[in-house]
Structures are given as structure tokens and as C-alpha cells.
Amino acid sequence: MRTSNFKYETLAKEIEDKINTGVYKVGDKLPSIRLFTKKMNLSMVTVNRAFEELEKHNLIESKPKSGYYVKSPKVIPFELPKHRRFKSIPAPIALDKATNSIIDMVANSDYLPLGAGIIDPQLFPYKYFNRILKSFSADDIKRLLTYESFQGNYELRRLIAQHMMGRVEGIGPDDIIITNGCVEAASICLHALAKSGDIIAVESPTYYLLLQLLQELGIIVVEIPTTPQHGFDVDAYENVLKVMDIKACLLTPNFNNPMGSLMPDDKKEKLVSLAHKYNVPIIEDDIFSELHYQSAQPLPLKSHDQHDLVLTCSSFSKTLSPGFRIGWTIPGKRFKEKVLNLRGGMSVSSAKLTQKILTDFLTYGGYDRHLRNLRKTIQHQTYVTALAIKQDFPQGTKLAMPKGGYMLWVELPEKINSMVFFNKALEKNIMIVPGVICSNSRRFQNYIRMSCGFPFDQKMKEGVKELGNIAKELNF
């Protein structure tokens, strides 16, 4: 919306900024015209004109006898990134020094956080955590300074099992193992299923930290294409299973990182049936599923598992706190004993104090209400960031608009190299993730991943515009 000296446009711009930064969230009711008139010393005609301007730009809507509300974002008409089919060939992980240095830099707070896969701490219930901490007596703290059991706090596991009702049948506290985050959960499961030199199937593109983990384990990977529309290409994977000795498959079926893709239920069911047919276990990373935009949370692969071949991993890092380092795995009865022994041998236990804080929060803190608010916020942040990319990036830019999570997978015009783009963005103190590090075979040379975990304030707006200028310069 253009700026102007007209009072109604100034007011409209101010309200728009509050919508973009999440002060007013999707579904929120705006103050009444009468209240705006009184509070800002403006005429009713001016406020009416401002609301009409916001309606014209599809930011708010009027509901008869109720007032004005922030509208749900519409789907942006972006052309999807190409579905790049390729021949899946096993290869050892070969991350170079440049890739490892990028991984180390991604979460650096000195840069504008359009690369880090984290959420603004302001969006977490930190005040509630503070109240919980203040409620602990000296004796409570003393008891919390000892080790927790290998498997984790029983009450926390009970609450996680309770939270999974309706998604996976028959899960109880004894089926869950607490870990230090989701990556550790995946690492323990990998240790249980494979050894150095074994072949693991992974989606492509994939989360770059998983490639780093697989490299340290000496695992050989075979990459399976992933599409924005349907996620993991199950047919391509079946062709691989027919000719290769695959020890396990590692993927994120719900809102893949970096692409944000969601596998349909029929594809999930077919993938799990292939696990049974070829006796190849699946490690699923389900960390983003609670950040869905639609009414229902997508089901995990585990919900289709009748033969104990799916090991589900998740954590509270994307919904409550990455710093607490509380994740978990549900390995199933077939693999539980081995996973539990490895968990104890690798890191003894997760922190007892943070497990207690989360247990108290889940018991009394309104986790479901927090999730509803968080989903609205990140959906809006993702939408306005995508809209800015559409406005500021060069023609030919393509984007996969996710149905959950807060990652945007952006295909730049073919002549733009994502590593060159990354370095030029760094010069402007902006962090993005070059797509090339999301694949062992260094595909996706002209792709980038952008994160939308922070409010789209003026700095973010200027940052996206600067990225657009860089892309136009490289595309000239």
C-alpha cells in the first residue's frame, strides 16, 4: 500500500504494518470505527476510508453486526519449483568446508534471520515458564539437580502420549523415549538401524543437519526426489528398493524442511506398506506437524504402521523452546530396547529441570491454546514474506507455498548461483540458506531456503527487498 499525506491512507498503512508484524493476527477483531475515531482524534469519514482501503487490499473483512476482522491469507499464485527427476545413485556424504561453515553460521544472531530455522522467542510462552521457575522451592531445585531416567520423566511421557490421542493408536508412556532434541532422536535411531558403509534413503532436498549427521556416521545415502505437491516420491523409492540393499529410510513427511511439502495420506500408506514388503524401517521426523495451517493436524507415518517398522521422532523445539532441548522418539516394540540402550550410552539422560518445566506447562499452561495462536502467527508471517518475494524478486522466481511450518523453498532464475547469492546477502548482513547444501549431490544450485519464524517488521521488509535487488543484479 502506497504512503500518502492523506490521513486515511496514513491510518490504513499503520494498521497494515500491525497486521504484517502480527500485532493483529488472522481472525482478530479490529477496534471499532468509533473507538479509532475517539482514540486517534480522527473523523468517522477518515476511519471509514482507511477501512475501505484495507478491504480493497484484502487485509480485512466486514462481518455484519459484528465489525471488521483480519482476513485469512489467500493462496499466492506462484509457479511451483520444478519437480526435478534424477537417477538415484548411492554415494558417501561429501560436505565440503564451505558447507560446514555455512551450517555454523546459519543461527548467527548478527544477521537478519531469514535463514535460521527458529522462531522468535517472543512467540514462546516464556512468561509462563518464568512463573513455573519461580514456583520451585529450594528443595524442588535440589531434587532436580540429579539425573533423570534414561527413558525420561514419566509424567512428561504420559502427557506426550495423551497429546497424541487420535493420531496414533495404542501409544502410552512406556512407548516414548525422551531425547536431547529431534536430531539426537534421529541419530539414536540411525545408530540402531545402520552402521558405517550402509545405505540409507533420504529425501532430496533434505535438512542439511541430517546430511552432516549421516556424514559423521559414515553412512552412504541414496537421494529420492521430493515434490512440493506430494512430498517424498514413493514410486521412485520403490524402484530403488527393488535394486538396492537399503537399511532404512529417513524423511519428514509433514512439512519437509526445506521444501515445506506435505505427503498425502494415500502416499504415506503406500510408503509404510513398502517398509513391510521390503523389511526396511523408516525414521520419520515429525517435528513440524503441529504447525499446520489447516483445521486438522496431518497424521504421521506411524499411524499407518502395523508391523513396528516406523520410528517416529519429534521435539518441542519448533513449538515451545529450542533451548530446552527436549525431544522424543517412539521406536516401537521391535526397536525399543536397542534404542533405549543407545540413548543411555550416548548421553545418559535429558536435563531433569527442563523436563519438569515442560511437564508443569503441559499440565496447566494451555498448550493447545498456545499452538492455535502460534499457527496463526507463523502462517501470517510466511504469507507476507512470500508476498514480498513475489513483489521484489525478479520474474521467473518460483516458490513452494507450504501448508504448514515456516519454510519457503524458492527457485531463482537458472543463471543465479545460490552460493554467490548467499555471499552477497551476507555482505548486507542477511542470512539465507543456499539450496545447494540441502543435497549431497549438490543439486538445487539456483534454490534458496528462507525462514519466516520472525515477525515481518520493517527490517524484514527491507531485507527481502534487498535480496530481491541482489537477485535482479545476478540475473541481469
The whole-number pLDDT of residue 350 equals 83
What is the rounded average pLDDT of the residues 32-56?
A: 86
Quote the distance between the C-alpha of residue 230 and its chain's center: 17
Kind of pairing between the strands at 433-434 and 447-451: antiparallel
User: Structure pTM?
Assistant: 0.84
CA atoms of 199 and 278, how far apart (whole Å): 14
What is 124-364's CATH number? 3.40.640.10
Amino acid at 63: K
Per CATH, is 7-70 categorized as 1.10.10.10?
A: yes
Span 165-193, pLDDT tens digits: 889 989 999 999 999 999 999 999 999 99
Q: Which residues pair with 398 in a beta bridge?
A: 411
Flag whether pLDDT at 14 surpasses 70: yes
The DSSP secondary structure of 162-201, one letter per residue, reads HHTTTTSTT--GGG-EEESHHHHHHHHHHHHH--TT-EEE
The rounded percent of the chain whose pLDDT value lies above 70 is 96
Residue 422's alpha-carbon distances to 258, 315, 431, 467, in angstroms, are 16, 29, 7, 10
Kind of pairing between the strands at 91-92 and 112-113: unpaired
Flag whether pLDDT at 117 surpasses 60: yes
Least confident of 71-80, 207-216, 318-327, 361-370: 71-80
Q: Domain residue spans in the chain?
A: 7-70, 124-364, 369-474
CA atoms of 117 and 234, how far apart (whole Å): 26
Higher model confidence: residue 467 or residue 227? 467
What is the rounded average pLDDT of the residues 306-319?
A: 96
CA atoms of 288 and 208, how far apart (whole Å): 16
Span 137-167, pLDDT tens digits: 999 999 988 888 889 999 999 999 999 988 9
What is the rounded average pLDDT of the residues 27-54?
A: 86
Closest CA to 444 of 431, 452, 453, 433: 433
**How long a stretch of residues is the chain?**
476
Alpha-carbon dihedral sign for residues 346, 350, 351, 352: negative
Q: Which residues pair with 248 in a beta bridge?
A: 200
Flag whether pLDDT at 1 surpasses 70: no
Secondary structure (3-state) at 350: coil
The DSSP secondary structure of 32-97, one letter per residue, reads PHHHHHHHHT--HHHHHHHHHHHHHTTSEEEETTTEEEEPPPPPP-PPPPP--------EE----H
Least confident of 19-33, 118-132, 189-203, 257-271: 19-33
CA dihedral 70, 75, 81, 84 (to 10 degrees): 120
Least confident of 53-67, 267-281, 299-313, 383-397: 53-67
What is the rounded average pLDDT of the residues 106-110?
A: 79
Residue 81's alpha-carbon distances to 78, 209, 255, 411, 414, in angstroms, are 9, 23, 16, 6, 11
Flag whether pLDDT at 388 surpasses 80: yes
Contact criterion met (CB below 8 Å) for 314 and 254: no
CATH topology of domain 369-474: Aspartate Aminotransferase, domain 1 (3.90.1150)
Residue 362's alpha-carbon distances to 158, 163, 292, 370, 402, in angstroms, are 10, 9, 20, 11, 28
The whole-number pLDDT of residue 2 equals 47
The rounded percent of the chain whose pLDDT value lies above 90 is 65
Specify the residue for cell string 540475473.
475
